[in-house]
Structure 1
Amino acid sequence: MSSWGADRLSPRIQRTATVTLLERAQRVELASMEDPEFNRLLESARFGINSVHRLTTESVAVLSTLLSMAATGGVLFTLSPVLLPLLVLIAAPARGARPSPPGGGTGCGRPRRTGPIR
């Protein structure tokens, strides 16, 4: 469901942002189109429009996760109210837990072996 929502929302929001940018750029005087500062601002606005897709996708994913957690909490509460704190313990990150390093390395500074062991 979350991908369906993101697939429907993202193009609409992106189109609205693009149309707004083009309407505002259209109102600018022709002389300022050659100004490097204006071009820098216009390029950063285009970058912002391109990041709208990622923002929409992540927002829908967070909302979907929260709804799933609420549904799971409802089921656990129905089964036994004692199980509800367990859901909180499962969802809370472990103290001192670190995310894995980029690239899926071992985190010890050495590259991961991919060949046969000798």
Structure 2
Amino acid sequence: MSTLSLYKFVAKRPFLTNLLKPVANSYANLSGYRKLGLRYDDIIMEENETVQKALKRLTVEEENSRVMRYRIAFQQSLQQTILPKEQWTKPEDDIRYLTPHINEVVAEEKEREAFDALKIIKN
């Protein structure tokens, strides 16, 4: 999951952060997942082995909340409606709960690969 990201570049510059924050929120609102009550991490593809390992690390509360958000979104999709505006996911509630676990799994995999690549040299 190594992708090119400008996050660190933008995060170090408050001017750019303040400039791009409204654009990012508008883009997230236009994508529509917040109108169904979902969070950003709810729409990450689960078929990836790394994401599967990260999902196993969720707490019971996080897992139950995720399932409820999926059920509500599925019901709204069946009815071809969106939630009332007061039930939309707010930007401040759209926290990353799965991404830290994904980053941990990636770091562990990199560490395992580096450890497996060690060569023992006998003198």
Which category of TM-score, normalised to the shorter sequence, fits these structures? Answer: 0.3 to 0.5
TM-score, L = length of structure 1: 0.33
Higher relative CO (Cα under 8 Å, sequence separation at least 6) belongs to 2
TM-score by length of 2: 0.32
> Which structure has the larger Rg?
1
